Structure 1
Amino acid sequence: MKILVVDDSRVMRQIVVRTLRQAGYGHCDVVEATDGRDGVDKVQAEQPDLVLSDWNMPEMSGIDFLSTLRASGDNRPFGFVTSEGSDPMRNTASQAGAAFLIAKPFSPDQFRDVLEPVLGS
């Protein structure tokens, strides 16, 4: 199982990876990308089973990243881990094809709750 974590903040990528481990996904291989454009390249090169992406990033935002993947026919599970979790943002994410949106701050339990249906335990 391979997970791609996309965030322009190195510290936030580390926090997401640590939370994944705490949620019981330490056995997964984790690949990191620094923005949506890098994420597109990493999806093609690494073929992850799941993408976890921030929303607001330079070069290419998370929603543009997701839209690019979906436009190319890529339907792998994609979720947002971002600072805003408003209803309009959740609706936009869902309509674009995201499986979930986790708002910061987050906990291992929140990760487990959304990842288990997508990945299993």
Structure 2
Amino acid sequence: MSKLHERRRDPRHTVMVPCKLYDPRSRKYTRALTCNISAGGIMIDLPYDRDLKPGDRIMVGVPSSPGEAVIAQADMRAGTVRSRLCAVGLDTVLGIEFDERLAEPVESTLRLAA
């Protein structure tokens, strides 16, 4: 088993919904798309290359209801970038570990994707 699989403590669920990322270093928000989510983290796809690398601290916001346009800062989750992949077309895919595990992340997010 690879180290990547050993780090995953929770089942991941594929779900693609819009989200936003806040980078405290640049003080900028970026739109992104979730790839999968678990109680311990999330994988997101950024539409272009960002200067984010493993170890960087970020905030991630996922809407709590369909069509939600604004995600309040209080609803953003702190986390650490654990993996980074640059995909074809200059997309950047980030694996993020949340500071605090989510109580029921998958159920609420899966309702958004339905």
Q: What's the TM-score once normalised by structure 1's chain length?
A: 0.26
Higher helix proportion = 1
Q: What's the TM-score once normalised by structure 2's chain length?
A: 0.27
